[in-house]
Amino acid sequence: LPEKTVNEIFSKQYGQILNLRELQEGIKLLVKQYQDQGYVLANVIGAPQVSPDGVVTLQVAEGLVEDIRVQFRNKDGEVTNEDGKPVKGRTQPYIVQRELQLKPGNVFNRNIVQRDLQRVFGLGLFEDVNVSLDPGEDPSKVNVIVNVVERNSGSIAAGAGVSSASGLFGTISYQEQNLNGRNQKLGAELQAGVREFLFDFRYTDPWIAGDPYRTSYTINAFRRRSISLIFDNGERENVAADGTNETIDTEIETLGSPRADGTFDEGDRPRVVRTGGGVNFTRPLNKNPYEKSEWIASAGLQYQRVNITDSDGERRSEGGIRQDDGTLVTNEGISRVQLSESGTGRDDLLLVKLGASRDKRNNPLQPTQGSFLRLGLDQSVPIGQGNIFLTRLQGNYSYYIPVKFTNFSKGPQTLAFNFQAGTILGDLPPYEAFSLGGSNSVRGYDEGGLSSGRSYVEASAEYRFPLFSVLSGALFVDIGSDLGTTTEPAELLNKNGTGIGYGLGLRVQSPLGPIRIDYGLNDDGDSRINFGIGERF
């Protein structure tokens, strides 16, 4: 305690005849001051010493920490196994100890220890974490024992299925959350099918050993295949069999060589196959690793080889909308579009990725107050096929206001607002355009059904309110625009470019987070039901 606190307690006794009763009351207040500040082991030991010149000396054992040890226990809380041998853990003790702000030589503080235990439990490696105290070799000191019960950290799963992108396929995945006992994460997913072999490997070290600032890094390698929304979910006018006009859904197909009469055989929806890997570093921007940092920065490097293929894996360079007679639809003077930047159906993309975020939300999963800002910059280095040189800029800001408009049910009510924008300078491979519309964009539209553009802006507003038990509701309105930068695929697909969606939704709480079901209407008069996991923003 500071000298000022001691003086405040005993100053009335200065210059007075020593009164043992008043002195004892002062000692009680002194100990209470320690207790209130979390120093629960502090106590005055021995009898007060009075010098000939009237100075009273109190000896205080504040509860210094002599040592900190990690004790592994089994699920029954015992320190020995059935054979009477000590329970051994997989986790390296330093993984626990580096989460502790309390260090040997510090005064034991209950408040600090509680926060330390929360951080240790937050690692996700333990079922139970608690602290016990043992006497130190010095009777005035204590040894702190951190008791931990480990949980299973690995899992393996297998499955099979069929999809339009991959045909019949089988999958196997492996996850390890505590590799080598160092809290390192390893994930591997393999998918083998009649059309493609895909994989995704990821390794993460959430805190580089010896780094004082919680710097983490992730290394990944992948081969992924998807049907891009850029070439899908369009509409066009068609003459029905009875001679009336109708609006039908359409998508861009891959084109082979034309027939002698200039028509084309039936194609496939373009598949975007990305093969590559990268590394990304992340660190909080504060100097105290034991306090939550509002700002987090990231920097990384990623390489991709992008192939545009048909369903058989054959590389394709052009696409179009084929009619039943084999001729191509023309819209805005466009009938055929390039599927890659190089014009060969294959591009090389090397990206330097920079990012920063500021999180002031009261709850990252279901915020009711605060704000969240995310900024990103991707800069390509021109190499290989396509010689792509692009700069991608993005920003995303959300703000949350607690309100109480109704008394229908107990629970938090929130007004939530989101604004985001982005642009791409330089080259624009078609598959890298911003896609608008769908469950995480403008609801009421199909996924990617509003537009794809070089630039975009989106704004959303939601009123979130509880209903009962695990069910809550939301009213929302979304607006999005490509700011007149519609890409050729979007023009050919006759996408709007700008649109509004509004509606209502339900949120069902689950272990994965809220399951989101939104019914939205758009400004074309169409409606959609959109599904998602977690809040829209």
Please name the CATH architecture into which domain 64-150 falls. Roll (3.10)
Residues 454, 433 contacting (CB under 8 angstroms): yes
DSSP state of 229: G
The answer to whether 248 and 238 have CB atoms below 8 angstroms apart is: yes
| Every domain of the chain and the residues it spans | 3-61, 64-150, 207-533
Give the pLDDT confidence score for residue 239 in this predicted structure. Answer: 65
| Sign for the pseudo-dihedral over CA of 344, 333, 448, 359 | positive
pLDDT tens readout for residues 4-34:
888 888 888 887 888 888 888 888 889 999 9
SS3 assignment, position 112: helix
Which among 266, 269, 334 has a CA at the least distance from the CA of 492? 334
The list of the chain residues with pLDDT below 50 reads none
SS3 491: helix
Say which amino acid occupies 271: R
pLDDT of residue 496: 95
Rounded-to-integer distance, Cα 201 and Cα 199, Å: 7
123 residue type, one letter: L
* pLDDT value for 240: 66
pLDDT value of residue 513: 83
| CATH class of the 3-61 domain in this structure | alpha beta
Domains 3-61 and 64-150 share a fold: yes
Rg of the Cα atoms in the chain: 32
pTM reported for the whole predicted model: 0.89
Q: What is the pLDDT of residue 59?
A: 86
| DSSP per residue, 325-345 | TSPBP-BTTBS-EESSSSSSS
Contact between 220 and 200 under an 8 Å Cβ cutoff? The reply is: yes
The structural architecture, per CATH, of the domain 207-533 is Beta Barrel (2.40)
